[in-house]
Amino acid sequence: MASIEITENTVIRNLIRKGTNADRETITLASGELGYTTDSERVFVGNSTAQGGTAAGDYLVVGNKFLGEVGSFSDVSALPGDTFKLGGSLYARKTDYSGSVSNATGYNLLGAAFTAGEGLDLDSETLSIKIDKSGTLAFTDDGSLTVGTVTLADLPTLDANTLLGNFTTGSSVPQAVAVGGNSVMGRQSTSTLGSVSFDQILLGADGTGTATLKPTVSGLTVTELAGTGEGPVVVNSSGTLSRVSTVGATNFVQWVLYDTPYQIFGKNASGSGTVGSLGSRIKSNGTLTAINPWANALESDPDFTGKPAGVKAAIVYGTLDTTVMPVNGDTRRAGPNSWQSRKGLTMFASKGTVNDSFQVIFTGGAGEEDSGRPETASGGGQTPVILDSSGNFKIGVYGNGDGGRSLSYTTYWYFKLYLVGYCL
C-alpha cells in the first residue's frame, strides 16, 4: 500500500458527518463526533448517549443564534440558548428542553425589547424607567417620552404652601409657585397665573378692580351662620360675621319709611267718608278686624308700589287726636256715659289671635274736665306690626272705665291708622 507524506504544505479536506436535521435526530453521534445539518446549518458535538441528541445533555450545539423577530412561538425553531424577538420581548430556548416549543412555557423571558430614537442616553448598564399601570411606554417622533399616568406620590418634593404648574403666558416646564396668606391661585390678568388674595377676587368680580363697585355673589351658603328661621348677620368688634338669634323674636334687617304716610283705616281727609270699606270705629271688647295695609286707597295712589317682597312688618301709626294730620273726622261717637266718668283704651294688632300675637300700637282715652265739661279723647303711637303669612294683620281695642270696669260692647272708639313704612 502506498503511503502519503503530509507536510506543512499539504492541503487536506476534512469532512464531518452531515445530513438534514431530521437525519440527525435518527442517529447517535459518537463522543466527540461532529455533525452538520445542511438545512438548519448548525454543528453538533455528540456524546454517544442517544440517537439524535433529543434528550437533555446528549449533545452540545456549537454556537447559538439570534433568530431575529418572529410572529409566534410556533414560527421559531430554536435550540437551547438561541434567542429571538417576539412582540416587545426577548426570549431564549430553555437549556433543559422543558416546556412546549409552541408557547411561552418552553422559553426563558430575557427582558423587554424596544427601539429608542434620538434623545435616549444610557449612563450605565442599567436602565430604570417607571411607567403607568398599563405598561405603556412610548417615544414620540421628536424623541420625547410619553407616560400614561404620573401619580402624586411620584412628584418631587416641594416647598411648603406651593403649587406646581405653568405660570407663564406660553408653554413651559412646571414651576412651583408659593401661595401667600389669605390667597388662592387665580388670574388677575389675561397673561399669568399666580397667587391672588381674596380682596383681589372680590374687587375683580365685576371686572372693574375698583373698591367703589361692589361685586355680587349668587348662591352663597355660609354653613357656620346657619340656624332656624331667618336672621340678620352682624359684624362684631373683631370684624367677624355672626348670626343674631331669632328664638322667640323677629329680627328686622332693614327699615323703610315713606316720605308721606298712607292712611289705611278711619275717616278720610275731609271727614265725609272712610278709607276703604272697614269704617272708622271698633268696639272696645277686643274684637279683631282684618287689615290689608297694601290695598284699598293705596292701590289708587300712582306712587305706591304695592307690597314689598320679603316684608316682615308694617310700620303703622294710630291716633285718636284730632290735632294730628289729617285734622278732620270724629274721634268718638259719644262722650263718657256721664261727665264724671273716664274711659280709656289700648289699641293693639295681631297676626293671628290675641294669644299668639299681641302687639300694642298705642293707648289713649277721655276724661272729665272742671265744671263738668267732657274732655276730648286723645292718644296715639307708632310701632312695627308683624304680619301674617299673607302680609296682613288684624287690629282690636280693649277699653275700660272708672275703677277698672269693662266698657259696654256698644262703646265704640273712632281712630285712624296710617302706613308709615315697612321692615324687611
Q: What is the 3-state secondary structure (H, E, C) of 114-137?
A: CCCCCCCCCCCCCCCCCCCCCCCE
Question: What is the model's pLDDT at position 327?
Answer: 42
Residue spans in the chain of domains classed CATH 2.60.120: 255-423
Name the nearest CA neighbour of 251 among 227, 225, 232: 232
Helix (H, G, I), strand (E, B) or coil at 371: helix
Question: What is the model's pLDDT at position 259?
Answer: 87
Rounded to whole angstroms, the Cα distance separating 141 from 159 reads 35
Question: What is the model's pLDDT at position 423?
Answer: 93
Mean pLDDT by runs of 10 across the 424 residues of the chain is: 71 81 81 84 79 53 83 86 86 84 89 57 50 57 61 72 78 78 71 74 66 65 69 74 73 86 83 81 86 75 80 92 46 44 83 91 75 68 94 89 56 83 92
Residue spans in the chain of domains classed CATH 2.10.10.30: 13-63
Cell of 144: 420625547
Cell of 195: 397667587
CATH of the domain spanning 13-63: 2.10.10.30
Q: What is the pTM of this model?
A: 0.47
Helix (H, G, I), strand (E, B) or coil at 77: coil
Write out the CATH class of domain 255-423: mainly beta
